[in-house]
Amino acid sequence: MKTKQPVYLNLFQFKFPVTAIASILHRMSGVILFLALPFLLWGLQLSLQSAKDFERLQTLMTGPVIKLIVWAVLVALFYHLIAGIRHLLMDMHVADGKQSGRYMAWLVILISVVFAVFLGVCIW
């Protein structure tokens, strides 16, 4: 007999394939970019208003928390770009098989990690 009690699913117990992880990260990076867009536009507006506002924005960007946020947004942007190119290639039937899709997902993650480290070195 089935009970109508809710079932607790621990998502950390599942073993997701690398293609699913790459897809989830692509969606998460899109959400991060969408949420960061108002702040990025505010920074652009502030930098273009006057020289005094530009200097104020420069001093604001020297804080470690702001640097971490900028780093996260840039990593999300780059990951979203690379994963988007992967999806476009799959739409053109390039590397759309099971094994080649797995390799491409690993490649996207590897390139993004290398870029994240490089960007972290450049920002700090």
Q: Kindly report the pTM of this predicted structure.
A: 0.84
Q: What does the alpha-carbon distance between residue 64 and residue 49 come to, in Å, rounded to a whole number? A: 25
| Residue 38 CB-density burial (10 A; 0-12 exposed, 13-18 middle, 19+ buried) | exposed
91 within a domain of the structure (yes/no): yes
63 within a domain of the structure (yes/no): yes
Q: What does the alpha-carbon distance between residue 46 and residue 63 come to, in Å, rounded to a whole number? A: 17
CATH code of 35's domain = 1.20.1300.10
117 within a domain of the structure (yes/no): yes
pLDDT single digits (tens) 38-97: 999 999 999 999 999 999 999 999 999 999 999 999 999 999 999 999 999 999 998 888
Averaged over 3-9, what is the pLDDT?
A: 79
Rounded to the nearest 10 degrees, what angle do helices 98-123 and 64-91 cross at?
160
- Name which of 91, 88, 83 is nearest 29 in CA terms: 83
